[in-house]
Amino acid sequence: MIKICLKSKSLSGKLTKQRKIIHVDMDAFFASVEQRDNPEYRGKPLIVGGKPNSRGVVAACSYEARKFGIYSAMPCSQAYRLCPQAIFVPVRFEAYREASAKIREVFWRYAVQVEPLSLDEAYLDVSYTAAFDGIATKIAQAIKHEIKQETGLIASAGVSYNKFLAKIASDMDKPDGLYVITPKQGAAFVQSLAIEKFYGVGPATAKKMKALGIHTGADLKTWSLSDLQAHFGKSAAYYYNIARGIDERAVKSFRCHVPCGYIPIRSYALFRAIDLLQPMIERHLSPKEDV
Ligand code: DCP
Ligand code: MG
């Protein structure tokens, strides 16, 4: 018998099917590629980006460098002051693109929808994946393992029932993380979350929210939709929903502005075919309930 699981309720009251989403984000991506390719950099504070005393910024830094307070986008001169013994190397985009392509190949083995956010991260919809009995946590483990085998790099993964929570989850346990937020945990998890941790709440909005007394998910949840609309306009519905652990955005497998040649034609044709078949797939398949 074909059964469609109806679980979460949207703002409009419409019932929708429970999804299984994995967000994968590589650890210290550019820096890890450099450490992989240059064994002498391993275990050391490494900064990828500008030269130590230039006006450049840090693109990426190894976890060893982070212990000194260094982070992406920091001026290199400041990074040098914090850690003069750090190794500074220039970016090698070709190497990062090559690793990124391999990672995406792994994603497509397990997901019908893959939405890259950058070279090193993507949302995967695994609601219809048959492997590992459809258990998303096991699928995430397999993805991490295959990425390690095929690129020599470490990924962190977040597993949940929507994009918002999966993205937050992938950051919870870095590096080499695998963090799961189940449908039962989602709403409570959001309550205790600091507002600046909410994906989609940028620094300016976080400042505005704090000025209004909104410091956590619990604070945000006390606001009515109309009050949020008065202060945040079009974004109000998104904030209203995420305060309740609800996010109905679908994983979009193809972005129109992806430059030609960025993805192989073969995969592009496949993406389009899946997009067209999606409604039929949804009618005929039912995701299993365990995340
Ligand atoms: N990047 C950049 N400039 C920034 C931020 C990031 O050039 N301001 C590049 C370098 C990063 C890569 O994008 O390696 C991925 O960005 P992430 O934010 O995922 O950071 P990392 O992968 O480096 O570290 P993390 O382990 O925190 O994900
Ligand atoms: Mg990363």
Q: Does any ligand 1 atom lie closer than 6 A to the CB of residue 201?
A: no
Read off the pLDDT band of 17 (50, 70, 90): low
Give the pLDDT of residue 53: 85
In ligand 1, the atom with minimum distance to the C-alpha of 175 is 26
3-state secondary structure 113-127: EEEEEECCEEEEECC
* DSSP, residue by residue, 26-41: ETTHHHHHHHHH-GGG
Query: Which member of 34, 121, 146, 248 is catalytic?
Result: 121
Q: Are residues 18 and 119 in contact, defined by beta-carbon separation less than 8 angstroms?
A: no
Reading the block at residue 218, the tokens are: 């619990």
pLDDT (tens digit, 9 = 90+) per residue, 118-171? 999 999 999 999 999 999 999 999 999 999 999 999 999 999 999 999 999 999
Whether the pLDDT of residue 268 is over 60: the answer is: no
Query: Is the shortest distance between the CB of 220 and ligand 1 below 6 Å?
Result: no
Helix residue ranges, H only, the chain: 29-37, 63-66, 76-82, 93-110, 136-151, 163-172, 183-191, 203-211, 217-221, 225-232, 236-242, 265-284
pLDDT one-digit tens code per residue, 211-266: 999 999 999 999 999 999 999 999 999 999 999 999 999 999 864 433 333 444 45
Highest mean pLDDT among 42-46, 199-203, 255-259, 262-266: 42-46
Q: Where are the domains of the chain?
A: 29-52+61-93, 185-253
pLDDT for position 18? 87
Say if residues 153 and 99 touch (Cβ distance below 8 Å).
yes
Res 175 pLDDT > 90: yes
User: DSSP per residue over 154-201, as a string?
Assistant: -EEEEEESSHHHHHHHHHHT-SS-EEE--HHHHHHHHHTSBGGGSTT-
CATH placement of domain 185-253: 1.10.150.20
Q: What angle do CA 261, 167, 152 make, to 5 degrees?
A: 60
Q: Which residue from 29, 57, 144, 154 has its CB within 8 A of the most atoms of ligand 1, so it is best to mutate? A: 29
pLDDT of 256 reads: 40
* Chain segment 69-128, per-residue pLDDT in tens: 999 999 999 999 999 999 999 999 999 999 999 999 999 999 989 999 999 999 999 999
Pick the CATH number of 29-52+61-93 from 3.40.1170.60, 3.40.190.10, 3.40.630.30, 1.10.357.10: 3.40.1170.60
